[in-house]
A = this chain, B = another copy of it.
Amino acid sequence: MTAQHRTPTREGVVEAAARIAAILPPTPLLPVEIGGTACWIKAESLQPVGAFKIRGGWNRLSTLTPEQAAGGVIGVSSGNHAQGVAWAAARLGIAATIVMPNDAPAVKLANVKALGAGVVLYDRPGGEDRDAIARKLCEDRGATLVHAYGDPWIIEGQGSAGIEIAQQLGREPGRIVAPCGGGGLTAGLALACPSAAIVPVEPEGWDDVRRSLAAGEILPVGPNPPATACDALQTPATWPINFAVLKERCSPGLAVSEREVRDAQRFAFARLRLVVEPGGAVALAAALAGKVALDADTVIVASGGNVDPAQFAGVIASDT
């Protein structure tokens, strides 16, 4: 069994939470009222890199063997995992190169480069296979692949957010509503909080996890998926290591429209004074649209806040 095939565990999440607490303060759990019901927002957008991905990045890179660390790491990401890996690599003195789509938000590209990581672009709209590019880079350089979600250390690292939530709430939450791309965060939260209902939310047309949960097997995003502002959630399919957790704990999954995502960004701006990127706002969008039950034990994850100024300005200055 290779390292990547190790099964992630709750013990691994607890250990990851300790590693992360040693270097990062907990993100706030903010009270919010939605439709007259008080619930909570876990503001992962307030992490130093603007997304929960710093958790998995730190957990994976800080547990590499000295030999692995010396060989450097290769990541694959539209930008938030990239920043998490780059942030951890810079602090640990590990060389990092990220395979990023050529249509990633400019702000994410700039942030990754500012953190000192190398960037290799691939043609996402043209359908180029990013995983193949990353595998080749790893072979050529003797580097370790740090996958954005199909990795037990990454899943356990993301799950540390669930340990924090339970500490901050003083109890395990009854329900966590979270954005879902490949399923790293949702699988980690499921492991962290064994008795909580986990509700993964995706953009319409990119709701392969919702469809996979309904079918009981992994289904990829369909051909010609619609355009979405949620760049962080444009994953072609979840992986078996994630789905093994999700299928036991997360059902049903939910999908939200692009308009519902913009409404959530505006709500976050006006009522929470938070900058939330489209992909980070889908769970809040589902809550605001009345698609999920809410109560005082419900936590909604706002997972990221890296958004190009023009996109954000356009959304908040409009009501459509």
Residues on A lying within 8 angstroms of B by beta carbon are 25, 27-31, 43, 45-46, 48, 50, 107, 168, 266, 269-270, 272-276, 305-306, 309-310, 312-314, 316-317
Contact = CB atoms under 8 A, between A and B. Distances in A.
B275 A269 contact: yes
A107 B270 contact: yes
A310 B269 CA distance: 12
A173 B205 CA distance: 50
A273 B270 contact: no
A283 to B, nearest CB: 16
Contacts of A31: 25, 48
Contact of A317 (B27, B275, B309): B309
Contacts of A312: 269, 313, 316
29 contacts: A25-B28, A25-B29, A25-B31, A25-B168, A27-B28, A28-B28, A28-B43, A28-B46, A43-B46, A45-B273, A46-B272, A46-B273, A46-B274, A269-B275, A269-B309, A273-B274, A273-B276, A273-B305, A273-B306, A274-B274, A274-B275, A275-B275, A309-B317, A312-B313, A312-B316, A313-B313, A313-B314, A313-B316, A313-B317
Contacts of A275: 269, 273-275
Instruction: Rank and list the top 10 A-B pairs by shortest CB-CB distance, nearest first.
Output: A273-B305, A313-B313, A313-B317, A273-B275, A28-B28, A309-B316, A45-B273, A50-B273, A313-B316, A309-B317
Copies in the complex: 2
A136 B314 CA distance: 44
A266 B312 CA distance: 12
A158 B309 CA distance: 32
A88 to B, nearest CB: 15
Contacts of A274: 46, 273-275
A273 B305 CA distance: 6
A269 B316 CA distance: 13
Contacts of A29: 25
